Chains A and B, each alone.
Chain A
Amino acid sequence: EVQLVQSGAEVKKPGESLKISCKGSGYSFTSYWIGWVRQMPGKGLEWMGIIYPGDSDTRYSPSFQGQVTISADKSISTAYLQWSSLKASDTAMYYCARQFLDSSGYFYFDYWGQGTLVTVSS
């Protein structure tokens, strides 16, 4: 069974650093892109970026480039999303999701993690 299990909720102060995780199981972790999606309170889904754990190829949305870092450790089938200096506006739910590429060239997020709630408040 494919599963993506994310790390638990975090409460941080502005200026602090943070790294949240997404552990994949039940499939070949190095063969699928893992994406990160932000959902601010009461708002919609925002595509942040994506990584291919097989070779760590990473792409970012222009809105998030330079604001976060996406990485992966394929030895433990885990992807990460990290901030070096959090802001109150980073308060949101963050989801990881596996991107499936089918034989016709269509791709989509087929499995999602349960989400990690990040709260940044002084």
Chain B
Amino acid sequence: DIQLTQSPSFLSASVGDRVTITCRASQGISSYLAWYQQKPGKAPKLLIYAASTLQSGVPSRFSGSGSGTEFTLTISSLQPEDFATYYCQQLNSYPRGTFGQGTKVEIK
């Protein structure tokens, strides 16, 4: 099974900061990667799919990049509503998909 490792697991940042989260796959997955945001007590929300395509309605300060085994989610200017936990998901083996362990973004 393909394993995903996110780093860091936790980060503390201030409003306006540029934030980057990394997701590494144990083997190549082309661009079959999605990113989700989850706020406490809520269901996850799709942010990005196909590694770099922004889901409709998601602010443009979110961006994704990468292919193969290394991927990044970048928030260009962190906003108060962005404090949440972020998960990557690999979707290389249709229809199966596994998640990374998550990265919690908290207010500094």
Contacts and interface: CB of A to CB of B under 8 A. Distances in A.
Contacts of B96: 47, 50, 59, 61
B95 A33 contact: yes
Nearest to A50: B95
Given A50-B96, A61-B96, A108 B102 contact: no
Nearest to B32: A106
Contacts of A50: 95-96
B99 interface: yes
Contact of B46 (A95, A101, A109, A114): A109
Interface residues of B, number: 27
Interface residues on A, range: 20 to 34
A37 B89 CA distance: 12
Contacts of B43: 95, 97, 112-115
22 contacts: A45-B87, A45-B89, A45-B99, A45-B102, A47-B96, A47-B98, A50-B96, A59-B95, A102-B50, A104-B50, A106-B31, A106-B49, A106-B91, A107-B94, A107-B95, A109-B44, A109-B46, A109-B89, A109-B97, A110-B46, A110-B55, A114-B43
Interface of A: 33, 35, 37, 44-47, 50, 52, 59, 61-62, 95, 97, 99, 101-102, 104-110, 112-115
